[in-house]
Amino acid sequence: MSNNWYKNEGEEKLAEKLIGMEKAALEKWFNGDSSGYRDLWSKKSFSYFDAVCVNRVDTYDEIAKLAIERVDRKLYAKHYEVRNERVQAVGDMAVLTYQLYCERNLINVNYNCIEVFQKEEDDWHVIHSTWSIIRPMEMDFSAMKEIV
């Protein structure tokens, strides 16, 4: 990884771990399987903002239900690319930011992603997630396909 913003080997290893967890969840997500994110999201404390949600989602149960309804066996990506990953950490909290460029079966969308991780017991979980569209004023939603 070796980016100049990581101060030591410990920070770099944590960044590799969290980015790896996120990429593993994305791989499942874009193959119509929300289980990777459902495992990554905190069941104790979770919130979520998305470009298609009017209000913040405030619980794990709510986001898990939405993910199953919207993703499982419905959402697929022809191609996606994660760019500009960065982890900033203090103690048992870490923020992962990255850009996601994807060609999906419903509509092609590019996101700025923010994942706030917290260490719970012996593992890390996302306690807040925000997916915002890169340059939303340029996004044309007229081509979006209906979810069957």
Q: Reply yes or no on whether the pLDDT at 65 is more than 50.
A: yes
Q: Reply yes or no on whether the pLDDT at 147 is more than 60.
A: no
Q: Residue ranges of the alpha helices (H) in the chain?
A: 9-29, 35-40, 60-70
Question: In this structure, what are the phi and psi dihedrals at residue 143, rounded to the nearest 5 degrees?
Answer: -90, 0
User: Would you place residue 137 in the very low, low, confident or very high pLDDT band (cuts 50, 70, 90)?
Assistant: low
Mean pLDDT for all residues in the chain: 89
> Which tokens sit at 136?
């939303």
User: Would you place residue 47 in the very low, low, confident or very high pLDDT band (cuts 50, 70, 90)?
Assistant: very high
User: Would you place residue 139 in the very low, low, confident or very high pLDDT band (cuts 50, 70, 90)?
Assistant: low
Domains of the chain: 9-138 (3.10.450.50)
> Which tokens sit at 95?
């923020």
Q: Reply yes or no on whether the pLDDT at 145 is more than 70.
A: no
Q: Reply yes or no on whether the pLDDT at 48 is more than 60.
A: yes
CA–CA gap between residue 130 and residue 118 (Å, rounded)? 15
Q: Could you give the 3-state DSSP secondary structure of residue 142?
A: helix
- Beta carbons of 75 and 32 less than 8 angstroms apart: yes
Higher pLDDT, 147 or 28: 28
**What's the confidence (pLDDT) of residue 51?**
80
Query: For residues 91-118, b (16+ Cβ closer than 10 Å) or e, as one string?
Result: eeebebebebebebeeebbbbbbbbbbb
Nearest to 109 by CA among 131, 130, 128: 131
Q: Reply yes or no on whether the pLDDT at 148 is more than 70.
A: no
